[in-house]
Structures are given as C-alpha cells and as structure tokens.
A and B are shown apart, each in its own frame.
Chain A
Amino acid sequence: MAKSNKPIVWGPFAAGGTVTAFVTPVLILLTLLAALGHVPDGLTYEGMHGFASHWLAKLAIFAVITLSLWSSAHRLRSTFFDFGLRRDKQIATIVYFMAIIGALASLMFLYCI
C-alpha cells in the first residue's frame, strides 16, 4: 500500500489549528468590542491602515487568514464525512478550493492596502 499524501493538507491544518487556538478568541473579542460600538483605537481606519501597511503585518495577517481558512476547510471536510456525506473527493475539492480562493483574495487585498 502506498503512503498517503495527506500530510500536504494535514500539515497546514495542524498549523492552522494551533494559530487559531492562540489568536481567534482574542480577535473575536476585539471585533466584538467594535460591534458593541467601542471600536478600539487599533481597529479604527487609521489604526488598522497604519498597522496593515507594514509588510510584516501583512505577512502575519495573510498567515492567520490562510491557515485558519485552511484548518476550517479541512475540519469541515471530515465533519461532512462524519455527518454522512460520503463524497469525500468532491467535498475536499470544494472546501480546499474555497480556502485557496480566500487566501488569494487576502493576498490581493493586502497588496492593495
């Protein structure tokens, strides 16, 4: 039996799971503040724009978005399976494709900032 190529999708999943575990809750907390009307300084247009202009910040944002999209996509794939949707190939293609689109989009937006 041949070894599987799963690592190529699993590696970023594991990385993404770790990243989201560390940062997603606090990010949600921050945008929640904004949603409640208390926009923190850093989340105002000036604040964000200033921050996101730096190439290092761009890289970080790109990494967070890409990895968390990827890990969500990967988990979604197995969750579909767990819910009884057994067309794994098709589902995998769709969810990973969407994650890649998201990653590319973020790349483009960041480039535009």
Chain B
Amino acid sequence: MTDRSIELEVLRYNPETDSEPYWQRYSVPHHHEWVVLDALNHIKENIDPTLNYRWSCHMAVCGSCGMMINGSPKLACKSFMRDYENLIRVEPLAHFPIERDLVTGMDDFVSKLARVKPYLIPKQDKPVEEGEYRQTPAELKRYKQYSMCINCMICYSACPEYGLIPKFLGPAAITLAHRYNLDSRDGGREQRQEEVASGEGVWECTFVGACSEACPKHVDPAGALQQVKIASTIDWFKEQLSSWLK
C-alpha cells in the first residue's frame, strides 16, 4: 500500500554531544493508515536506532507520544500521515525542556499535578465494608469529561500563557482539580483552592482556548478553567461579604 515516500524532519538533540538541537531529515514510506508514530518506529527500526521518543499504547490513551507535528502539539499515534503534505516536521512538545530528541522533561507537570491534590477527599468517610457511595448517572456526568485527561501535556504545549509564565499551574492540573471538585463524593475543594485559586493558579489563564482546541481527548480544559474562575470569584465575594457582615 506504499504509494509514495514522505519526508520527515525531526528535531534532534543529544545533550552529550550537541550544544543545541538540529533538524534531521528521513525519508519514510507512506502508508495510508500509518500514523506519525509508525513512521518514527520505521526510522528507529530501519534507518536510525539512535532516534529517541516515548510511546507505548499506540491507541491514544497512555499519553506518552505528545510532540509538535508541523508546529501543533499532537499525539503521534493519532496523527495520520495521510493528513499531511510531503514534508512533516516533528519536534518535541513546545514549552518543555528537551531531554533528548523528542523526549521532554515531565517533572514540572508531575509536581504541579501532585500540588492540586488530584484525589478524592471524601465529604464523609465511609468504611469500605459499607459499600459504595451513591452517585447518580447525572452526578457522574457532571465531572466525567474532566476525568478523561491522559496527562499528555499537549495542552501545556498549546497554552501560550504557560510558555510565557512557566509557574502557571496549567490547564490539565487545574482541570483535574476541578474534576474532583465537581464529584458528588468529594469535599476537598477548599483544600485544592489554596493552589488552584492562587496567583499562579487559574488566574494566569487568559482563556486563550488553545488548550481545548489541541486536547486529543476533548477534555476541554479551557472550559474547566473558566468555571473555576467563576466559582473562585463567587467564593471571594462571599468571603468578603461574610467578613463585613460579622
């Protein structure tokens, strides 16, 4: 099914030998159903074993293979070669430090994720023996979309504010906090707000919306962040009001 070949330009960087990244060009066969990841695997197996990148699932669920493809952050395993012209440029995810080739540093995201307490902080503790918490399908649906995040960090790469302000907690972390805040079983919002509603939290977002456009899982972080802003604003005015009334 190879009809033609296609040029792949990959940004390479090896900290041990290069002072800065450079482009390297590979010629790969074009298959109709190939994704960019297949092309990279083809290169790794047949042309250049020194090319490095992350991947695992090949089904857009593990979140490993985020990279810039022709300037936009994408999952390589979900970007079909057929959707591109004859030259595809592949770079590491923007805004993150390049560890090597297409591999970028994850530390920042992982520590931010931990900071927003992305776990259920139950309203009331309930022993496991007493069975599940009740949650209606409507209550489930309320937060479900925001629980679909695969931590691929594509939204961070898409968000210019994160690029400009690296301290910004960023779309995915705040969205995950919001996911738990919306959960009918949860009572931990107050604790999460310490980070989420801080200056480096949701308030660095200017609603560019690029995060949601880029998100491969349709999580809609931009929406989540605006909801968080509205809720935090209501909180703030309530707090002020109640302290005046005292």
Direct chain A–B contact by Cβ atoms under 8 Å: yes
Chain A interfacial positions (CB closer than 8 Å to B): 1-8, 10-11, 14, 78, 81-82
Q: Is the CB of A11 within 8 A of B198?
A: no
Q: Is the CB of A3 within 8 A of B233?
A: no
Which residues 140-199 of B have a CB within 8 angstroms of A? 160, 164, 193-195, 197-199
Q: Is the CB of A3 within 8 A of B206?
A: no
What's the nearest-Cβ distance from chain B to residue A9, in Å? 10
Q: How many A-B residue pairs have CB under 8 A?
A: 43
Residue of A nearest to B203 (CB): A6
Q: Hey, which chain B residues are within 8 Å of A4, CB to CB?
A: 197-199, 201, 203
Contacts known (A11-B237, A14-B233, A82-B206); A3 close to B197, Cβ less than 8 A:
yes
Question: What are 28 contact pairs spanning A and B, CB under 8 A?
Answer: A1-B194, A1-B198, A1-B199, A2-B198, A3-B193, A3-B198, A3-B232, A3-B236, A4-B197, A4-B199, A5-B236, A6-B232, A7-B232, A7-B233, A7-B235, A7-B236, A7-B237, A8-B236, A10-B229, A10-B233, A11-B236, A11-B237, A14-B230, A78-B206, A81-B164, A82-B160, A82-B164, A82-B206
Residue from the set B201, B233, B235 with the largest chain A CB neighbour count within 10 Å: B233
Known: A10-B229, A81-B164. 16 other contacts (CB 8 A): A1-B199, A2-B194, A2-B198, A3-B193, A3-B198, A3-B236, A4-B203, A6-B199, A6-B203, A7-B235, A7-B236, A7-B237, A10-B233, A11-B236, A82-B160, A82-B206
Q: Hey, which chain B residues are within 8 Å of A10, CB to CB?
A: 203, 229, 233
Q: How far is the CA of A91 from the CA of B46 in the complex (A)?
A: 56
Chain B interfacial positions (CB closer than 8 Å to A): 160, 164, 193-195, 197-201, 203, 206, 229-230, 232-233, 235-237
